[in-house]
Structure 1
Amino acid sequence: MEGDGNEIDAERYEEDESVTDILRDRFRLSTISIAETQAKKHGMQISEPIMACISELAFKYTAHLAKDLELFAQHANRKCVNTEDVILAAHRNEHVASTLRSFYDDLKAKEPQSERKRKKASKNKDKATTSAVHFPDL
């Protein structure tokens, strides 16, 4: 019976590897397309080895970012990644983090608020005590 479990694990591993390979190839094609477009826009040329290197680095960075986002969500006892996780992941680059924050704030401002959410927010404000300390988002 143990052999059956190992075969199933091996099949899952092979499926995961094939999915990863497909994603990597599609990501590379997209990265190369973006690089070529930007190079033409600025009157430049990029050699094939450089494009391959850029696409591989971008893929590895994205995989690392995805793992970080997963860990942030797990740390907050959530199963899904949210916007706050993405902003937190960008903390090493203040320009990117501030751009993400302003983009998120713009999205929140455009989002229609339901009456139910407003009522909850007002109840929470009523429960606040005078000794509470508010830390503004940085």
Structure 2
Amino acid sequence: MSSVLLFCAGCSSETLHEIDRSDLVGSWKASGGDSIRFLADREVRTNGFSDSDQESCGDGGVGYWSFYVAMDDRGESIRTSPEATEGDFVSVSLREGAEGECQVDLSVIDEGRSLCVADLDNVCASGERFTRQ
């Protein structure tokens, strides 16, 4: 499954930072208690995205992750790639549950030390940050 997104990277004061797969794999936690665990086999486990506007993401779950890659030279059109080994923008898709499928995009910021929930207009759509544990 591939997602395509037109992203406005210049619409926020945050700066995206590219990391490789080994820097992403592991546990990340937000100050509010939400957590994400990225596994090397592209599986992801979360206990929720309370700061996401996706209601179906609130309880978290199990799914998969992938980096986005640019489809054009200017990087204005991007898509997920299960083969990408590095990136500054991550897609998290949780399997369908009682509330439906959950899809959340995360920006890599703070020189790779933090992740934040992104949307079409903002590198970080909220103040919540996930940091590596």
* Higher strand fraction (1 or 2): 2
* TM-score calculated relative to the size of structure 1: 0.17
* TM-score calculated relative to the size of structure 2: 0.17
Determine which structure has more spread, i.e. the larger CA radius of gyration.
Answer: 1
